[in-house]
Amino acid sequence: MSVPINFNVKSVAASISPTAGSPLHDHFRRRADAAEVQPRILHPLENEGLRLLVLENISQEAVAAFRSQGYHVDHYTKAMGEDELIEKIGSYHGIGIRSKTKITKRVIQAAKKLLVIGCFCIGTNQVDLQAASRAGIPVFNSPFSNSRSVAELVMSELVTLSRQLFERAHELRNGIWNKQSKNCWEIRGKTLGIVGYGHIGSQLSVLAEAFGMRVLFYDVLNIMPLGQARQVESLNALLSESDFVTLHVPELPETINMISRDQLSQMKEGSYLINNARGKVVDIPALVESLQSKHLAGAAIDVFPHEPSANGDPFDDQLNPWASTLRKLPNVILTPHIGGSTEEAQRMIGQEVSSYVSRYLGSGSSISAVNFPEVDLRVNTSDSIIRICHVHKNQPGVLKQVNDALSPYNVEKQYSDSKGEIAYVMADISNVSTSDWHALKDRINSTDSNILTRFLA
């Protein structure tokens, strides 16, 4: 089923296309009926024909969305190695990748025109973020697009574990009829303990209540509970009251092995553990002991301390020394890190990241960038405005230099922010002639703190 892409056009204000304007703006204005109300879209003053290189299996909707914005898109379905990328990247203004393409420092050095990197996935480990920000290139990703997919998987695991569904289905596939109700339970009326009440944990809370479960959660932050859920004060309180415990915390030094022998012993006899968070959050040898002793009645695990790097690679004792023991335990569901792997999540990622990339190229907004100061200005409806997007080194005196250069003009809006070594200022100025902006561009580009400056109109 295909769902149309909706661009987030918050930063693009609606205006009536004027009939007259400065020669500069006339040059860049799209042909439009004077009376028609059009969203105003800014365009780079220098590099009109923006070229995007899109790699790997990025959703087709995202590729179509880029093309509909007027960008030239070269789309290859495979990842590229470093050398091939270095050879190709020089002519592109934007690149879209998933997790297999590595954007190294060498790649960034070769990317002379690159303005933006879109990671169409959850993480950004594949990009040298520091090299990118030093080159004035923001990196966008989509960290929370698959929250619903994970929450739904947990719901299915709750039922599967409590009904021993996996065992029965496996037996029947082997020709064994084994109908039984002993130790098979409804989840209605049972207590679900959620550890980490963020994007996934809170979605799950709503779904579990709709199934008639009582929901408790533990989080390091005080969070407003949804529905009838209740926050408890300690992890131990949650463990000792819950029939099912599900983990939704990030991997941090303090969450590594947060469920180990002591915590498992706090859990109720006959309860279940579900981990779709990160592999190192659970001490798996301790979990194996707890399952073998029948203290826990089952577990579902989607993430592991070491995971095979490609489909088809073995999941064995060489990778994790307990793998073969875990694989043999009854009522244990093992899945290959598929919590967030759905068509909907991929589509949402495509929609979200393509809108960030287009918004940055079109209006300069860096909101949601992972390595970059987050700056946004509403797009001014007036046709006589030029927008300056100036990425610079985060050092004293830069704003004075910039504002000296802008002082002959009216600065309609200005906003700046910094992150680590770099800073970003956006300014809208009015009534700039063509010769003026060339001079302005030369002046700002020649400052010693300049990293990358663009002019949009």
Ligand X SMILES: NC(=O)c1ccc[n+]([C@@H]2O[C@H](COP(=O)([O-])OP(=O)(O)OC[C@H]3O[C@@H](n4cnc5c(N)ncnc54)[C@H](O)[C@@H]3O)[C@@H](O)[C@H]2O)c1
Closer residue to ligand X (CB): 66 or 217: 217
306 is catalytic: no
Using CB under 6 A, which residues numbered 325 to 364 contact ligand X? Answer: 337, 339-340
Span near ligand X by CB under 6 A; candidates 88-96, 216-224, 286-294, 358-366 = 216-224
Burial 389-403 (b: 16+ CB within 10 A, else e): bbbbbeeeebbebbe
307 is catalytic: yes
Are 387 and 377 in contact by the 8 Å Cβ rule? The answer is: yes
From the list 114, 277, 288, 385, which residue makes contact with ligand X (rule: CB under 6 A)?
A: 277
343 is catalytic: no
CA–CA separation, 393 and 384 (whole Å):
29
Span near ligand X by CB under 6 A; candidates 108-116, 214-222, 225-233, 440-448 = 214-222
CA–CA separation, 8 and 65 (whole Å):
12
The reply on whether position 199 binds ligand X by CB under 6 A is yes
Alpha-carbon distances, residue 309 vs 100, 189, 306, 335 (angstroms): 10, 40, 9, 14
Closer residue to ligand X (CB): 110 or 286: 286
DSSP string of 355-401? HHHHHHHHH---TT-SSS-----PPPS-TTEEEEEEEEE--TTHHHH
Closer residue to ligand X (CB): 198 or 285: 198
Cβ-proximal residue to ligand X, closest one: 198
Q: Out of 82, 152, 307, 412, which one is annotated catalytic?
A: 307
- Token duo for residue 309: 């790097």
- β pairing state of 385-393 and 422-430: antiparallel
Closer residue to ligand X (CB): 118 or 201: 201
CA–CA separation, 398 and 33 (whole Å):
42
Give the helix/strand (H/E) hosting 323: helix 323-328
Q: CB of residue 421 vs ligand X: minimum separation in angstroms?
A: 26
Q: CB of residue 98 vs ligand X: minimum separation in angstroms?
A: 14
Q: Out of 82, 337, 344, 443, which one is annotated catalytic?
A: 337
Q: Out of 40, 148, 278, 347, which one is annotated catalytic?
A: 278
Amino acid at 136: G
From the list 126, 276, 358, 366, which residue makes contact with ligand X (rule: CB under 6 A)?
A: 276
The reply on whether position 187 binds ligand X by CB under 6 A is no
Span near ligand X by CB under 6 A; candidates 18-26, 31-39, 199-207, 425-433 = 199-207
Q: CB of residue 270 vs ligand X: minimum separation in angstroms?
A: 24
Using CB under 6 A, which residues numbered 365 to 394 contact ligand X? Answer: none
422-430 sheet: strands from edge to edge: 410-419, 422-430, 385-393, 450-456
Bridge partners of residue 195, in order along the sequence: 218, 247
CA angle 161, 344, 144 (to 5 degrees): 80
Print the binding letters for residues 141-180 with ligand X: x by CB under 6 A, - otherwise.
---x-xx--x------------------------------
Amino acid at 301: I
Dihedral (CA of 373, 374, 378, 383) sign: positive
Q: CB of residue 122 vs ligand X: minimum separation in angstroms?
A: 6
Q: CB of residue 251 vs ligand X: minimum separation in angstroms?
A: 6
Q: CB of residue 359 vs ligand X: minimum separation in angstroms?
A: 23
Are 391 and 453 in contact by the 8 Å Cβ rule? The answer is: yes
CA–CA separation, 365 and 13 (whole Å):
13
Size of the site for ligand X (CB under 6 A): 30
The reply on whether position 218 binds ligand X by CB under 6 A is yes
Q: CB of residue 152 vs ligand X: minimum separation in angstroms?
A: 12
Closer residue to ligand X (CB): 75 or 337: 337
Question: Which residues, other chains included, contact 217 with Cβ-Cβ below 8 Å and sequence gap of 6+?
Answer: 193, 194, 195, 196, 197, 201, 205, 223, 225, 229, 230, 231, 232, 238
From the list 200, 287, 391, 440, which residue makes contact with ligand X (rule: CB under 6 A)?
A: 200
Using CB under 6 A, which residues numbered 239 to 258 contact ligand X? Answer: 248-252, 254-255
Are 337 and 303 in contact by the 8 Å Cβ rule? The answer is: yes
From the list 34, 176, 221, 224, which residue makes contact with ligand X (rule: CB under 6 A)?
A: 221
CA–CA separation, 446 and 443 (whole Å):
5
Q: CB of residue 12 vs ligand X: minimum separation in angstroms?
A: 28
The reply on whether position 304 binds ligand X by CB under 6 A is no
Q: Which residues are catalytic, by number?
A: 278, 307, 337
Q: Which residues bind ligand X (CB under 6 A)?
A: 144, 146-147, 150, 195-201, 218-221, 248-252, 254-255, 276-278, 302-303, 337, 339-340
